[in-house]
Amino acid sequence: MGRLTESAAAGSGARAARWAGSPPTLLLISPTSPGCAATMASSDEDGTNGGASEAGEDREAPGKRRRLGLLATAWLTFYNIAMTAGWLVLAIAMVRFYMEKGTHRGLYKSVQKTLKFFQTFALLEVRIVPTSVLVTGVQVSSRIFMVWLITHSIKPIQNEESVVLFLVAWTVTEITRYSFYTFSLLDHLPYFIKWARYNFFIILYPVGVAGELLTIYAALPYVKKTGMFSIRLPNKYNVSFDYYYFLLITMASYIPLFPQLYFHMLRQRRKVLHGEVIVEKDD
């Protein structure tokens, strides 16, 4: 479901500034986590050295924390700028292809290298805002699954119109999202970027999910006919796996998961744009 949820980034510019005085803590790696909430890991150790006294360590700790905070902020800024640029390149390539060819056929093939690189590169994202393991798992797996185990592996479906649906939805979402995090880290967030971040998803997320589901559905006949990725009995491990039924289960999983993730983003929208105080239980 491709990054359907993230922790709200209100006040993220101030949060980025605070990192300079307090070192962030590594929590999770996630392709969908917000850049302004992401950070590098810091050690729990105080960096003791030989015969240094505890008082000396205490005096050194704030400086080390500031340096770690500055390094984390610099990494996050670079990362989000790079990801914004990458998805912009992808968007320009798609527009140029359609203007030149006048058709969506061949579009995926023309942009697949850029898509695979930046979508896979998103695995480097790290967050300091705690989130549900389930939510993070969905965010991580869904995009990688669609890119590598569906569209990359099943070439006959690459020209399906549904592929264009999720490509467009992903691209606009990611340009908006990474721009939001970049400007937040720089503490200069234009209101339009903030507005776009918490309004575009209302349409883009359902469009993206529809594209993903229709693409998986289009893949079913090919998977059933070829038996790809399936393991049949008998075999020396005495296990079996049917990729066709796995895809059916995957499609069914969207029913309970998508509303949960979508309404979470709607709550974050109310909190960020309208200042509502929303208390959510920790998972």
- What is the per-residue pLDDT across 12-29, written as a single tens digit (0 to 9) for each? 444 444 443 443 433 333
Q: State which amino acid sits at residue 186.
A: L
Mean pLDDT is lowest, of 62-66, 117-121, 170-174, 187-191, for 62-66
- Give the mean pLDDT of 63-79: 85
**Catalytic-labelled residue, pool 79, 205, 244, 254:** 205
- Give the mean pLDDT of 30-38: 36
Report helix, strand or coil for 241. strand
**Catalytic-labelled residue, pool 212, 243, 244, 254:** 212
Checking if the pLDDT of 233 tops 80, the result is: yes
Q: pLDDT value at position 279?
A: 57
In DSSP terms, 38 is beta-bridged to 127
Report helix, strand or coil for 38. strand
Got the DSSP string for 177-194?
HHHHHHHHHTT---HHHH
Q: 161 Cβ partners below 8 Å, 6+ apart?
A: 104
Q: Tokens standing for 239?
A: 């296990």
Is 217 designated active site?
Answer: no
Q: 263 Cβ partners below 8 Å, 6+ apart?
A: none
Is 212 designated active site?
Answer: yes
Which tens digits make up the pLDDT trace of 163-220?
A: 999 999 999 999 999 999 999 999 999 999 999 999 999 999 999 999 999 999 999 9
